[in-house]
Amino acid sequence: MQPLAHELFPTPDILDAFRRCTHLPGCLMLDSAMQVQSSAEQPLGRYSFLMADPFEWIVCPVGQADPLRPVRERLQAYQLETIEGLPPFQGGIAGLLSYDLNRSFESITPQGHDEFRLPALAVGCYDVVIAWDHQQNRSWIFSSGFPASTVAERTRLASVRSNQFEKTITSRNREPVVTTVRDRRPPIPVANQFEVPGPLGLTSNFSAAQYLAAVQKCIDYIYAGDVFQINLAQRLLFPANCPAAELYERLRQCNPAPFSGYFDLKRSTDTGPHLQIVSASPERFIAVRGRVVETRPIKGTRRRTGTPLVDIHAKTELENSVKDRAENTMIVDLMRNDLSRCCTDDSIEVTQLCELEQYQSVLHLVSAVQGKLKPECDLVDLIEAVFPGGSITGAPKVRSMEIIAELEPNVRGAYCGALGYFGFNGNADFSILIRTITVAGGWWQIPVGGGIVSQSIPTSEYDETWTKAAGMLRALNTE
């Protein structure tokens, strides 16, 4: 059975629709805030999706065995036929896969500090999805009628829920929506933090000297033969000063990206403080369309200044950087190996290698690897084979994650995890949560990092973290 699909006339403004849904539990927006030209037939960032009020939540703590089993069970229980020619997500399971989900798949010793206690997995089962096709400037509401089981019940429920959401986002007579309020209790205590340059109140879990020493330790591990590459990050903290939805709109304006997103983990039965994910990610982790899988690792970064001659020099430097190309190709090989665990051998190919892509604040080298799922593998098998992404761990992956846990003082939480969806129709799309702010405990957490290889210079690696932070730090400005 296909979902009920209703086109919206006129096409609603995406930010207006978002504002009208932020009061609902589980509000999730997967937002193509920027289109990026690539070697693909279509530019990245064609579709956006908005959803809220899931009919079921699946939440798993860090370290739980077989955490994706409930996801697989729901995907088997709730199946949809795709309406071809329309946006690919038409209802499904969507939300957060924390970086610390890795501890369910590998024996990784946890870091010393975990102040915010994010779950390893927090996803909702969404029966209604509002979708935009930015290329055609059209929008639809999809409504599946789940969890009803009979055709008649599903048809009735799909219509009721579709009408409910259409009224929410289009009614001119409804009361203005109050966005999710900021938790006004004092920020929770955090582990050792160090003042760093930037907005007043910004701190890091590394001093500059400590970060340089950690980079050098990574280089030592590389020369000792433990690894070829390690992704190391520092966690910046800033006191929250506005609702998370407002922060998202600021970030969307300052640093638009093709895989932007907002996720409120607040459930209707929760009584504790809110926890939200606010992201401007440029990186696709994994996507599936018709059982064809794509991953798009990013390695290699330069800052954009807006000055043409300076940016031209940065482009030339990045494209010709032996060190950055080495970083990128190592991760391409790692992702080819990961995909081979669940894709047919003859289907895996590199469709884009170290191509330069331009974003608001930075330039990146981006590659793309594709494969086709084996007949016996499903979406959960795929995630278990490739999670977390190689571009934010290193190579070999398991040893890199062990070194990350040794050198980084705090758990990563949402950072370097994934945000996206498993469609009831078999499609999927997840971003990697870089350029991401986690709102929790009265703090904005802003981790930034980069890949360390044998040619790395510690001061340059430290500077690169601030290049990546620049767009997010602009969003902190309250003026």
Q: Is 299 among the catalytic positions?
A: yes
* Cβ–Cβ under 8 Å, residues 143 and 156: no
**Helix/strand number for the chain, H first, E second:** 11, 23
As a residue count, the chain comes to: 479
Q: Is 167 among the catalytic positions?
A: no
Angle at alpha carbon of residue 31, lines to 26 and 33, rounded to 5°: 150
In angstroms, the CA 402 to CA 43 distance is 36
Q: Please, how many CA atoms are within 13 Å of residue 113, restricted to the half-sphere of its CB?
A: 12
Catalytic residue among 283, 357, 384, 464: 283
Region class of 85: left (phi > 0), else alpha (psi between -120 and 50), else beta: left
Alpha-carbon Rg for the chain, nearest whole angstrom, is: 21
Residue type present at position 117: R
> Hey, how many other C-beta atoms are within 10 angstroms of the C-beta on 274?
18
Region class of 300: left (phi > 0), else alpha (psi between -120 and 50), else beta: left
In angstroms, the CA 317 to CA 297 distance is 20
DSSP 343: B
Catalytic residue among 249, 294, 299, 408: 299
What residues contact 391, with CB distance under 8 A and at least 6 apart? 231, 283, 297, 298, 299, 331, 335, 432, 451
Active site residues: 283, 299
